[in-house]
Amino acid sequence: MIVVTGGAGFIGSATVWALNQKGEENIIVVDELRSGEKWKNLNGLKFNDFYHKMDFLEMVVSGDLPFDVEAVIHLGACSATTEKDADYLMDNNYKYSQEMAKLCAEKDARFIYASSAATYGDGDKGYDDDESRLEELRPLNMYGYSKHMFDLWLRQTGLNEKAVGLKFFNVYGPNEYHKDDMRSVVHKAFEQVRDTGKVKLFKSHHPDYKDGEQKRDFVYVKDAVGMALFFLENPDINGIFNVGTANARTWNDLVTALFNAMGKPVNIEYIDMPGHLKGKYQYYTKANSDKIRKAGYTDKIHTLEEGVTDYVQNYLMKDIYLGM
């Protein structure tokens, strides 16, 4: 079985969808659905069984798994960059990940896990996925630090030699609707344009960037999971790799692509950034993709305009999900 933790979530359900596209259905989905509508992400996908994340953890710790594990694609985590409960983040993002890594080491199974570009902090150390420089990174929030701690732990234990860590940059695309405030700006802006005809973006509080000219590496979820599955298909390649486009684009570029995809005139209002974000805001991110390309990943990556157009016209405007 291929285990996908966080398999009902945004990137997780897209991963299950991508596996199905390749004809793979021997999949175990691990997640926590609660009372929201995240279950819709699973509607139409093909997998063998579903386990609540805590039930699965208990089986792992007790050595009582009822199936053989070929691989664990560990995407389950609290991904809220504004989460302040450090103990909660440690349990979900650090301790849980340790158990998944130890399981794969014991079973000689493939271990692919989600790290994050949030580990790079303000970017003053660059965005080079060189593991020898991990200790130099200083994340800006507890979410990024929890991911950074696991990257360090895996390296310190030597388990990184049979694992792949994926530093996801700004991922957007179908199946993210349930993420509330952690949804991409594409999803939030789509609702704003649909309801009001305009988009609100944060003003810049950095002298080097004009309003709306803050830059991020926006990567379409279909490309992100394509990179993840490349490592499933190439089990001899290990290490930490950036998952991005290697292009930094502005928020203005992003919403302009959205307006164009919706056939609406561009109408942007700039608003003050909340005080609690000002010291923790990344003004620039750009993945260095040399390492993943040298590893053999050759697939074409959607441009920002291509990804936004596909997302808006084939999913948001039709109110459908991957797998439907």
Any idea which residues carry the catalytic annotation?
143, 179
| Type of residue found at 213 | E
3-state secondary structure 238-258: CEEEEECCCCCEEHHHHHHHH
State the residue for tokens 């040399």.
290
- Nearest Cα residue to 10 out of 36, 1, 259: 36
Neighbours of 146 (CB within 10 A): 26
Query: Which long-range contacts link 207-212 to residues 24+ away (Cβ below 8 Å)?
Result: 208/283, 209/283, 209/284, 211/270, 212/250, 212/251, 212/252, 212/255, 212/268, 212/270
Q: Determine the 3-state secondary structure of 35 from DSSP.
A: coil
- Tell me the residue type at 126: G
Amino acid sitting at position 37? E
